[in-house]
Structure 1
Amino acid sequence: VSAEPAAQSVSAAGWRERLSLLSDSNFRKVWLAGAIYGTVRWLDMLAVGVFTYEVTGSPMLVAVMVFLRLLPLILMGSIIGVVAERFNRRRLLLGGLVFLSIVCAILFLLALTGYITLWQVGVGAVVNGFLFSADFAIRRMLLGEVAGMRRLGAAMGLDSATNNATRMVGPLLGGVVYQAVGLEGTYLVGFVLSALAALLIARLSVDSSAPPVRTSSLLADIIEGLRYIRSNRVVMAVLVITVLMNFFAFPFLGMIPVIGKDILHLEPSLIGVLAAADGCGALFGAIVVAVFAQSVYYRRIFVIGSAIVLVAVFVFSLSGVFGLSVSVLLIGGLGLAGFGTMQSTLIFVETPASIRGRVLGILTMCIGTMPIGMLAVGLIADWIGAARAISVMTLCGMAVLTAVLVHWREMR
């Protein structure tokens, strides 16, 4: 299967044409639904991390909670990609958001009445992880279809900008609500926001996701997707870099509550500020990418962004000062914008529409390696401390990224 027609259809749209996406009501609904769900995901991750550490005092169990949240990505990513090609994508996404809102309501009542336990919080994290899988593979397909190939870079840039804004707003909101109200407050906010996102998806007036009739099996479709990935060196390189970033770099997110409490001695609200710092930098960076990035630079933006993240997280692991920690995470956020925006954009550009859902599903699985990295950093943190564990992981990530760039010269 050749990706040339898709790649050639991406031309350099002007910045005014890129921003015209915002006048499309269907784009706004899919885009805003993602922003709202992203806020739920990040506020819940911070609040659950702080709650788990307060109850258990174990960095390892904090990492386990993040592991449970991301486990569905690696278990279900390829399946969700195939399902997204076979069934109505709007209805799949709507059903997931409704189910999440119900789970948030149940956990709110349990927390309010004092009956909530750690295993129930873990179940909520798994449910959130299933919807994260669907959001990445299904909602981003909808977003790309609504935008069209010519405005694809802008669509993914704007979506990345809002996702990174939620990395800023979600932890801030989670820290403030948790400190003021407690765990029940975060679940109440999660219920309201999930229901609002579901309402936006329910009101989509144009559904471009009518599935074709397929006669092949799920397994055959997955195998076809894997064969295509092996035939495209750029797609393979994007997936390998995604794995290394999620295994070596991003697990630091699960250790932020630990570092904030034990090393920087912060209150939950300031831990929220720390967790939001990279999202703030990424928001600014993603807006710049959305407006100005040209397709000829997509690969370099992806690689340079990955390198910046690794270096920034390494410096963060050495810092014992709140101001320096926030500053380097802001810089790391700029790199995250390049990595996150170009990750999906390169897959769209390099992959034909007939197989795109499967490749996005495999990409979701690659993102799902983050929980394995979380367990690794949690185990190392119990042994040598959270900060040193992050240092070890990011140094390994830098070495692997160097090896990848030597092998896949197309990405330089």
Structure 2
Amino acid sequence: MSPGPGAGSAPASLTATDKISTFSSFRIRNYRLHFFGSSVSNIGTWMQRIAQDWLVHELTGSAAAVGVTLALQFLPMLLFGLWGGVLADRFDKRKLMLGTQALLGLTGLVLAALTLSGQVHVYHVYALAFVVGLATVVDNPARQVFVSEMVGPHLLRNAVSLNSANFQSARLIGPAVAGVVIMGVGSGWAFLFNGLSFIAPIVALLMMRTSELIPTERAPRGKGQLREGLRYVGRRPELLWPIVLLGFAGTFGYNFAIWLVAFTDHVFHADAGTYGLLNSLMAAGSVAGALLAARRGSRRMRFTVMAGLLFGVVLMVAAFAPTFLVFALLMPVIGLVAMTFQVTANAGIQLHSDPAMRGRVISLMMMVFVGGTPIGGPLMGWLTDTFGARIGLFAGGALCAVAAVGVALVLARIGGLKLRISLRAGSRGVALVPRDPEELAAA
């Protein structure tokens, strides 16, 4: 790898003063390869997610069982997530991704073989979900940090947003195709496509020009690297509190598989095709949110917190949608708000992190965001099974909204602000204003 950015990596016109358009990162060849390779495997990933959720529901008839599957898939991130960040900081990200992508493809092929042969049992799905989680522990921080090596800091927010748009665009196609495939020929063919789809990102990684990557400082092997990463985040409120908010959202709010399965089956009494449609509608909003984020410059942390609050509120509104049409129309809104929150938090955390620590910061972020699912998934599944889909969805949204308000109050206190409520005509009813010097001294 060259000691500096290759000339072909970023054209001379890409400077910190240039205006960023929606697709600015496409000017970089390595990123184009990454984007289009990932787009194929992302479609397969969404097909497998839908087929896996529906297969577990068919085998067990339980929303809680779907939650257990999600929990097992994300449990490795909770247990070993920080180690994935250490590996991402220490080793070549591209080589790590070659290994993880191959393992993810293999799990899809094994599940396809079991399902097509008629030998699949729910414990097979559980075991393979856990293996996917193990691969993701390393793949996630390596892939996210690798983005900065492809595009550099100036285009990082743009590339993160485009990656999210890529993943969510696949969600428009994958669930719809999966619904047709499941009803037509069975879940096994969806798993087979997913397994084969990982050929595309592997080929893309092999075709990259390593001389055009922007190298980042690698952390040397040493003791205490996990503790060092935790201390680093703990000393920085601009990292700590967005991660806390992401943790609440990931644990209690991003359990869409549980709720959409339950609403499809028990509230609207529909089939796998309807489940796929609801996922696709949510994805349409997510794509819009990601593309809007790709055009934005830096945002204040208050924007991320407000997006987190709005996400919780929209979930609570959707919980009591009176008809299927209203519920379906709310899916794009949920997708847009959820993606706006996720992208702005992710990009802000990366931009505020030192490059040598970024892998560990990202792994901690993903550990609390994704790793909370082993707690939230079964809990939300139990609430949904016991009290109904509407109560389960409302509870998840309420917890996210309360967390956003709590984080906002903490950040306001750290920033020397206080909440002012004014009933006078012509003034802002609710606003954050600087605290008096006497109040700051007393605090």
| TM-score of the two chains, using structure 1 as the length reference | 0.91
Aligned counterparts of 2:379 and 2:126: Cα–Cα separation in 1: 19
**Compared CA separation, residues 302 and 371, structure 1 to 2 (3 A):** same
Q: 1:102 to 1:83 in 2, by over 3 A?
A: same
**Cα gap change, 1:46/1:280 in structure 2, threshold over 3 Å: closer, same or farther?**
same
For residues 11-410 of structure 1, what are the structure 2 equivalents within 5 Å?
11=16, 13-16=18-21, 19-206=23-210, 207-208=213-214, 212=218, 214-217=220-223, 220-291=224-295, 293-295=296-298, 297-367=299-369, 368-409=371-412
Q: What does the per-residue CA deviation read over 1:150-185, in whole Å, with 9 as the maximum and x for residues that have no partner?
A: 111111111121122233323222222212221211
* Aligned equivalent of 2:420: none
Q: CA deviation at 1:226?
A: 0.6
- Quote the Cα distance in structure 1 between the aligned partners of 2:218 and 2:252: 39
Aligned residues: 398
Farther off after superposition, 347-356 or 379-388: 379-388
**What's the offset of the Cα at 1:384?**
0.8
CA RMSD of aligned residues (A): 2.1
* Shift in alpha-carbon separation, 1:187–1:260, aligned structure 2, 3 A: same
| 2:23 aligned counterpart, secondary structure | helix
Alpha carbons of structure 1 residues 37 and 222: separation in structure 2 relative to 1, 3 Å: farther
User: Cα 1:169–1:320, aligned 2, differ >3 Å: closer, same or farther?
Assistant: farther
The structural deviation recorded for 1:357 is 0.8
For residues 154 and 69 of structure 1, the distance between their equivalents in structure 2, rounded to whole angstroms, comes to 29
1:67 maps to a residue whose letter is: A
Alpha-carbon contact 1:168-1:280 (below 8 Å) kept: yes
d(CA) in 1 for partners of 2:135 and 2:45? Answer: 9
Measured at CA, do residues 123 and 279 of structure 1 come closer, stay the same or move farther in structure 2, by a change above 3 Å?
A: same
Ranges in structure 2 where 5+ consecutive residues have no aligned partner: 1-14, 418-431, 433-443
| Pairwise CA distance, 1:11 | 4.8
Q: Give how far 1:251 is off.
A: 1.6
- Give me the whole-angstrom Cα distance separating, in 1, the residues matched to 2:274 and 2:39: 23
C-alpha deviations, 1:71-105, integer Å up to 9, x for none? Answer: 12212211000001111211111111112222222
Distance across 1 between alignment mates of 2:249 and 2:60: 28
Higher relative contact order (CA 8 A, sep 6+): 1
Once the two structures are superposed, residues 294-349 of structure 1 have per-residue CA deviations (whole angstroms, 9 ceiling, x without a partner) of 21x24243223222221222222212422211211211111122112112211121
Cα distance, 1:208 vs structure 2 = 4.7
Identity %: 23
Aligned equivalents of 1:166, 1:285: Cα separation in 2: 14
**Conservation of the 8 A alpha-carbon contact between 1:39 and 1:167:** yes
CA separation in 2, counterparts of 1:66 and 1:378?
10
199-208 vs 276-285, which deviates more?
Answer: 199-208
> How far is the alpha carbon of 1:23 from its aligned partner?
2.4
> CA offset at residue 12 of structure 1?
5.8
CA contact (8 A) 1:174 1:186 kept: yes
With over 3 angstroms needed to count, the CA separation of the structure-2 counterparts of 1:281 and 1:213, relative to structure 1, is closer
Distance 2:240 2:36 in 1: 30
CA distance in structure 2 between the aligned counterparts of 1:270 and 1:358, rounded to whole angstroms: 39
- Amino acid across the alignment from 1:143: V
Q: In 2, Cα distance between the equivalents of 1:61 and 1:71?
A: 15
Task: Give 1:260 deviation, angstroms.
Answer: 0.5
Distance 1:12 1:120, change over 3 A: farther
Please say if residues 216 and 356 of structure 2, whose CA atoms lie closer than 8 Å, have aligned partners that are also in contact: no
Please tell me the residue identity of whatever aligns with 2:330. V
More off after superposition, 327-336 vs 297-306: 297-306
Code of the residue aligned with 2:397 in structure 1: it is T
Distance 1:303 1:202, change over 3 A: same
Q: 1:131 to 1:389 in 2, by over 3 A?
A: same
User: Residue type of the partner of 2:392?
Assistant: A
| Alignment CA distance shift 1:20-1:59 (3 Å) | closer
Residues 58 and 19 of structure 1, relative CA distance in 2, 3 Å threshold: closer
Q: Which has the larger radius of gyration?
A: 2
The aligned counterpart of 1:6 is none
Q: Report the secondary structure of 1:408's partner residue.
A: helix
Measured in 1, the distance between the counterparts of 2:219 and 2:248 equals 36
Higher normalized helix content (fraction of residues): 1
Conserved in 2, the CA contact under 8 Å of 1:142 and 1:208? no
Q: 1:3 corresponds to which residue?
A: none
In structure 1, C-alpha distance between the alignment counterparts of 2:110 and 2:256, rounded to whole Å: 30
- Equivalent residue letter for 2:333: I
Distance (whole Å) between structure 2 residues aligned to residue 171 and residue 161 of structure 1 = 16
1:130-149 per-position Cα deviation (integer Å, ceiling 9, x unaligned): 33333421111111221111
